[in-house]
Structure 1
Amino acid sequence: MGKLLLKPIDLCGRLNAAIRLAGGVPQFARLHGLKVQLVRDTQSLKSISADVTKAVGLVPVLRYPVKAQAGRLATLGEVQEKLNSFVTRHTTQRAAAMALGISEGSLSNIQNARRGFTPVLSALGFDLPVTRFVVLP
């Protein structure tokens, strides 16, 4: 996980500074070929646009808080690995699905990335994902 993860407030700081330098939201949007409302929505954190974050040198990423380790954020790969270990410990996919309280088909879809992890996060020791940002290289 070697990259520094920035919080939404860090995005706001960078975006507000860039908007000031550009002379306002409309000018910033025009400079980067973005819609003004997209910039305003990102600035207020109403919805975060990958294009707006890219304009200030950041990329949004999802991380999963680990319940047992305050402040630790896991990657999607770590969640997938923990799910696969959980299934292996329960011998069959059916037994693992029953332990998680979901259907075998749902578990299969989650494992094959056709469905999100939300139904199993808590049972695996994770909270709902949070958005963080990494600096573009």
Structure 2
Amino acid sequence: MLLKPIDLCGRLNAAIRLAGGAPQFARLHNLKVQAVRDTQSLKSISEDVTKAVGLVPVLRYPVRAQAGRLATLGEVQEKLNSFVAQRETQRAAAMALGISEGCLSNIQNARRGFTPVLVALGFDLPVTRFVVLP
């Protein structure tokens, strides 16, 4: 189950309250106080702070055609691979996506992020969600 940032705030605020404040929570988990405060305000999310409350941040990609559906990185990769396979050449696929052939190759080989091709594949920019640590 994916949790939203508001769920992280709820867990973190409860843990901070239980510890007696942000400095005490930070000390208890060997974290920087500023990292705790920044995560609490969602200014920047520290993986160490999220782990301290039993969560791990993950990126998901909103699917434009299906409101509320979030795709995994693997699903985006699959969609890109099928898009390329449907074209005669990699160059034709790159042109259809509006990027260079080298850029497409770098994206496919995980040397570059998916941002340049997300919209053409039907996705929006990634959002952060959280999963509970096992």
Percent identical residues: 91
Question: What SS does structure 1 have at the residue aligned with 2:110?
Answer: coil
Deviation digits for residues 39-87 of structure 1 (CA, Å, limit 9, x no counterpart):
0000000000000000000000000000000000000000000000000
Q: What's the CA shift string for 1:87-122, capped at 9, x where partnerless? A: 000121100000000000000000000000000000
Question: Which residue does 1:126 correspond to in 2?
Answer: 123
Partners of 1:36 and 1:44 in 2: CA distance = 12
Structure 2 SS opposite 1:21: helix
* 2:62 aligned partner: 65
Q: Which runs of 4+ in 1 moved over 6 A?
A: none
Matched, 1:94 2:115: no
CA distance, structure 2, for counterparts of residue 77 and residue 114 of structure 1: 15
Count residues with an aligned counterpart. 134
1:20 Cα deviation after fit:
0.2
3-state SS in 1 of match to 2:58: strand
Taking structure 1 as the reference length, the TM-score comes to 0.97
Instruction: Name the residue aligned to 1:13.
Output: 10
- Shift in Å at residue 23 of structure 1? 0.2
Secondary structure at the residue paired with 2:131? Answer: strand
For 1:135 and 1:28, the matched residues in 2 are separated by: 19
Q: Name the CA distance, whole Å, in 2 between partners of 1:45 and 1:96.
A: 38
Q: Which runs of 5+ in 1 are unaligned?
A: none
How far, CA to CA, are the matches of 1:63 and 1:21 in structure 2? 31
- Whole-angstrom distance in 1 between the partners of 2:47 and 2:89: 39
Q: State the Cα RMSD in Å.
A: 0.3
Unaligned 5+ segments in structure 2 are none
